[in-house]
Amino acid sequence: MKASANPGVLKHRGSRAFTIVEVLVSMVVLALLVLAMMSLVDSAMHFWRDNEGRTDACREARAALAVMTRDLRNAVTGPNANLMKFNLQSGAAGTNYGSNVFFLASLPPSAQEAGSKGDVCEIGFFLALDRTAASTNRTLNLYRYFRSSNQTFSNVISGSLFTNIATGATGEELLARNVIGMKFAPVSSSGRDWIPFVPRPEAPLPDMIEITLVAVGHDVGQKLEDFDRWRDTNFPPMRRAVQSFTTRVNVGTAQ
């Protein structure tokens, strides 16, 4: 057996280093995989935010409908058409943004402020754009107008029902945000069908009102910075986010 001519040199066969081309290809593949993963995560986050916004809009709209239903069932009805006003413009701030209703309702003292001596209150529901210190853009919201029995009595005496309506932090109660549409439709029953209500001298007020709310999620609402955009149902984010809720309420039938 011959010894190696140069025992200090060890021969290493069967392995080699990566070439620069192979390293670059590996980096490109890894970058593509990372981009794909980031795209999937971003899509999942967008879907989650959109779904969360739709859930919030649904929750607020349903809660608002519950309040509106309760108040309308306590509405004071009778032969006087002035007890309930639809689409009121004069004296109602911001009520030109959609349908609205203002009426007198009978509420117990527990549903009013402390010291209320009666049960007849002024109530209304309307849409208005809001720009408060906590708002970075103009949002279209649903508000509840409320005056306790003491104030209502004074307004009846002075002939100033449903006036001095305001929005903002110190204004009317905010019921639901990002409501892009609201409609109050007085209806009557005709057999199995519902037909538009036609006032008559003996019945100037309807027995039932159909309420429709159209709302979008908070994320979409942040993109609607002016009234024209709020009304643009062809705006792509609007088309995907719009949710509509409808209910019918028997007026003046408190249980």
Here the tokens at position 168 are: 């903002």
Distances (CA, A) of 82 to 29, 161, 172: 74, 10, 22
Strand, helix or coil at 159?
coil
Alpha helices in the chain (DSSP H): 20-73, 149-158, 218-221, 227-230, 236-241
Q: Residue 173, Cβ neighbours under 10 Å: how many?
A: 10
Tens of each residue's pLDDT in the chain, 255 residues: 455 555 555 555 555 677 888 788 888 888 888 888 888 877 777 666 666 666 778 888 899 999 999 999 999 887 777 788 888 775 555 556 778 899 999 988 888 888 788 889 999 999 887 766 555 556 788 999 999 999 999 988 998 888 888 877 778 899 998 888 899 988 887 767 777 888 887 778 888 899 999 888 777 776 676 666 666 767 776 777 788 899 999 887 654
Here the tokens at position 173 are: 């109660």
DSSP-derived secondary structure letter, 75: B
